[in-house]
Structure 1
Amino acid sequence: MTHILAIDTSSAWCSVALSLNDAAPIVRHQKVSAGASQLLLPWIQELLSEASIELADLDGIAIGVGPGAFTGVRLGVAAVQGLATAARLPVHPVASLDAIASQLVQTSAFIASGAQSFVIAVDARMEEVYWASYRVGITRLPARQGDIHLTAPEGVELTQIDFVAGSAIAEFGDRLFASTPRILAGTHLDSTIGVNALGVLTCAQDMWSKGMQEDVHLLEPLYIRNKVALTSIERSLQHG
């Protein structure tokens, strides 16, 4: 089995996971806000030491490339660029919503729901939502239907969707379901699930099995939004 190190710092959590042959992955996952830069490299060294392997023994490094917090995404990508270059390792860039989707389909609530189509919707700040639609297929991972979108909460397309998950549910509530209030009456919601290195690892293992490794020199963040902050005028209008 492959040894893949997975990293995600695209949210308020610092998250690192390492696959270990047939054993369960070892994980560090902690809410740190702005402290990920102090924990990331020590955690990586801890996991490698616990597995009794060196960085060069890895088959690749997976990284959550966003969309997400601008500074966090840059931190994770920069760290992987340095590590993979030094050890001459391929990389596996994973979109944060794809990582969340891979985790969601393994939860007992999702399995019990029998859902076949679902949406991951994540708070993108600035009164917007990152979202994407997925379908459960015959393979281990769900298939994303098209691109990751950035819209107002009311712009999330939920027609013929069986399940909705992500932080946008708690952040925007009724606004998210304005066009499809029937979903609110059901139980097929998960507002707490977020991106985790385990989800990144799951996606990366699938990519590795398909020969989808990437040269580290091609690695870059996934930016859905070009603008990362509101101007003072825009903020005043928003709250006025």
Structure 2
Amino acid sequence: MANILAIDTSSAWCSVALSLEGQAVQFRHEAVTVGASQLLLPWIESLLSDAKSSLTDLDAIAVGIGPGAFTGVRLGVAAVQGLAVSQNIPVVPVCSLDAIAAQLLESAVFKSSHPQRLMIAIDARMEEVYWASYDIQEKRLPSRIGDIHLTKPEDLNLEGVQLLAGSALNAYNQSLPQFIGPIDPDVSISALGILKCAQQSLQDGAHCEVRQLEPLYVRDKVAFTTAEREEGKK
């Protein structure tokens, strides 16, 4: 088993997990009101100290690269860049929706419904939703079908989906297409999902050098000129 530090700051939570061979996974996950910038590095130092370990013992550092909160994603990526460069540690970038899909496997809703295809849909703000569909594979994490989409809530393509999960269900309950099937509106991203994805990626030989690490921006533009806003109303 690889020694992995996993972090995520792409949401309103600061989340860190440490998996070392022969030890139970250490995990810290708390909502942050101002930001994770003052918590992240002290948490990492504390987890490594408690495990009587250091960065030099790590085989990889995994990080959530989004989509998610712009500032949070950049914070996580920058922190991992600094840590990885200092010790020349490989990094594993993990998509937020992939991590949520991995966590969903442990939920009671998933275990009771046994879906063959699921969708993760999360609130992207600005009356939009990030979403992706996944096939379920035996003894592996869910496999994403195609790209991550950014659409209006009503434009989700639910064809073939047997389980729908994510924060969009609460945020846009009245706007989503009708779905008759099990749902999990409460599952959200954490470093445990990042860790699960990183473990599989390393088993598959998939990681990258720190210089290749960058945020995943599905939304290309978050600010519009007055003319663009008026054009959008037409």
Kindly provide the CA deviation profile for residues 83-127 of structure 1, in whole angstroms up to 9, marking residues without a partner as x. Answer: 000011000000000000000012122111111111000000111
Shift of 1:138: 1.6
- 1:189-208 equivalences in 2 (<5 Å): 189-208=183-202
Percent identical: 57
Kindly provide the CA deviation profile for residues 137-196 of structure 1, in whole angstroms up to 9, marking residues without a partner as x. Answer: 12320110111010010111111211000000000013112xxx242xx4x111111110
Residue 146 of structure 1 corresponds to 146
Provide TM-score, normalisation by structure 1.
0.92
Give the letter for the 1:194 counterpart.
S
Give the letter for the 1:139 counterpart.
K
Q: Which runs of 5+ in 2 are unaligned?
A: none
Q: Distance in 1 between matches of 2:204 and 2:160?
A: 31
Shift of 1:235: 7.6
Give the letter for the 2:72 counterpart.
G
Shift of 1:38: 0.4
Give the letter for the 2:59 counterpart.
D
Give the letter for the 1:91 counterpart.
V
Would you say 1:58 and 2:52 are equivalent positions? no
Aligned length: 233
Cα-Cα RMSD: 1.8
Q: Which runs of 4+ in 1 moved over 4 A?
A: 230-239
Q: Distance in 2 between matches of 1:135 and 1:67?
A: 20
Residue 109 of structure 1 corresponds to 109
Alpha-carbon contact 1:12-1:34 (below 8 Å) kept: no
| Aligned with 2:212 (options 194, 210, 218) | 218
Q: Distance in 2 between matches of 1:230 and 1:122?
A: 23
SS in 2 for 1:146: strand
Provide TM-score, normalisation by structure 2.
0.94
Q: Distance in 2 between matches of 1:223 and 1:105?
A: 26
Alpha-carbon contact 2:96-2:189 (below 8 Å) kept: yes
Residue 122 of structure 1 corresponds to 122
Alpha-carbon contact 1:65-1:94 (below 8 Å) kept: yes
Shift of 1:229: 3.5
Q: Which runs of 5+ in 1 are unaligned?
A: none
Would you say 1:100 and 2:100 are equivalent positions? yes
Aligned in 2, Cα 1:9/1:56: closer, same or farther, shift over 3 Å?
same
Residue 83 of structure 2 corresponds to 83
Q: Distance in 1 between matches of 2:56 and 2:27?
A: 19
Q: Distance in 1 between matches of 2:193 and 2:152?
A: 26
Residue 170 of structure 1 corresponds to 170
SS in 1 for 2:56: helix
Shift of 1:230: 5.2
Alpha-carbon contact 1:122-1:131 (below 8 Å) kept: yes
Q: Distance in 2 between matches of 1:150 and 1:174?
A: 18
Q: Distance in 1 between matches of 2:188 and 2:229?
A: 27
SS in 2 for 1:66: coil
Give the letter for the 2:198 counterpart.
A
